Amino acid sequence: MNFYPLAGKLIPIFWLLAIALIGLGLYWGFFKTADVLSDQKQYYRIIYVHVASAWMAMWLYAVMVAWAMIGLIFNTRLSYMLASATAVTGTVMTIIALITGAIWGKTSWGTWWDWDPKLTTFLILLFIYIGYIALQAAIDDTRRSDKASALLALVGLAIVPVIYYAVNCPDPNECASLHQESSLKRVESNILIGMLVTTLGFWAYSFATILMRARNIILERERNTTWVSKLDEVK
Amino acid sequence: MSEFFYMGGFGIFIWSAMATALVLMLLEPIMLIMKRRSVLADIKRIKRLEERKNRK
């Protein structure tokens, strides 16, 4: 298990990156931008945490599926552990995106929630994440729970492109869509910088928490091995 | 300064969105650290029990 000590060294680096990048991104987003835009007032600043967390929720799902696939193909235990470590951070990101989205919706659309395509599919993403975690927790045998939940993750992957394209509603009479089209071209450059730097910080945060969780899972699963009993942490 | 926090009347919305992200992103690592401590404590206890058993 070379991964365990390597992850231990990487975690503080990712934490530093996360704090620095999120700090810089928010500083830029709050102090280098105009207070009022043509179609949005100050509340548009929710964009920095909302878009960053929503992107992470989708990307982390893809990362989770990638690890699950590698696990299914090569039957490697570590990739399954990384898949389940990714799922919880993905869930946290999905919850942040939904709550901040609701707050933004209240100011911008006048409602906390609407069964708009983007919002509805995003809620389904949350349920798939929770389903993955619940399925894994429900089966005692780790080898079987790893495989079963990996298959669920793979099937659930279908929702990610649906979320992505959910706002590109061709005819407003056919499908009502409150959510803005996710086009970066519409975003003013200083806001874009704040948003992208914050997102990089969210990536670093995700790596840090995923590695921390992966280390916890390794310790739990390998607690009876000699290499764990020889670790400095348990002396 | 208070104008900055007021945010043209939208401060409550903006800061509660920021606070949501902050709280969840602090809670997650705190729970991970607590989990690590409890797993390590378990491993240590089992190790001590086994050492005692081996001595007998």
C-alpha to C-alpha distance for A125 and A111, rounded to whole angstroms: 21
> Tokens in use for A99?
């709550």
pLDDT value at residue B10: 83
Q: What average pLDDT score do residues A209-224 get?
A: 95
The answer for residues whose C-beta is within 8 angstroms of residue A209's C-beta and 6 or more apart is: A88, A89, A92, B28, B29, B32
* Domain contains B15: no
Quick check: is B27 in a domain?
yes
CA A159 → CA A125, A139, A171, B31, distances in Å?
A: 7, 24, 22, 29
Instruction: Determine the Cα–Cα distance for residues A142 and A120; give it in Å rounded to an integer.
Output: 32
pTM for this entry:
0.91
User: Is B32 within 8 Å of A213 when comparing Cβ atoms?
Assistant: yes
Domain presence at residue B25:
yes
**Of A61, A65, A69, whose CA–CA distance to A88 is shortest?**
A61
pLDDT value at A169 more than 70: no
Q: Is A179 helix (H, G, I), strand (E, B) or coil?
A: coil
Q: Please indicate, yes or no, if residue B14 is contained in any of the structural domains.
A: no
**Residues in chain B closer than 8 A to A223 (CB atoms):** 39, 42-43, 46
Q: Kindly determine whether residue B13 and residue A104, on different chains, have CB atoms separated by under 8 Å.
A: yes
Sequence-separated contacts (24+) of A173-178 with Cβ below 8 Å: A175/A117, A176/A116, A177/A116, A177/A117, A177/A118, A178/A105, A178/A109, A178/A111, A178/A114, A178/A116, A178/A119
Structural domain that includes position B27:
20-56
Which residues in chain B touch residue A212, judged by CB atoms under 8 angstroms apart? 29, 32-33, 36
Does pLDDT of A221 surpass 90?
yes
Q: Choose the closest CB to A96 out of B10, B14, B24.
A: B24
In chain A, where the domains are located? 25-30+40-234
| In-domain check, residue B41 | yes
Contact state of B40 with A36 under an 8 Å Cβ cutoff: no
Q: Where on the phi/psi map is residue A37: left (φ > 0), alpha (ψ -120 to 50), or beta?
A: beta
Count how many domains chain B has.
1
Phi-psi region of B7 (alpha: psi -120 to 50; beta: other; left: phi over 0): left
Residues 130-149, chain A, touching B (beta carbon < 8 A): none
Q: What percent of chain A has pLDDT over 90?
A: 64
Residues of A in contact with B11 (CB under 8 A): 42
- Structure confidence at residue B4 (pLDDT): 83
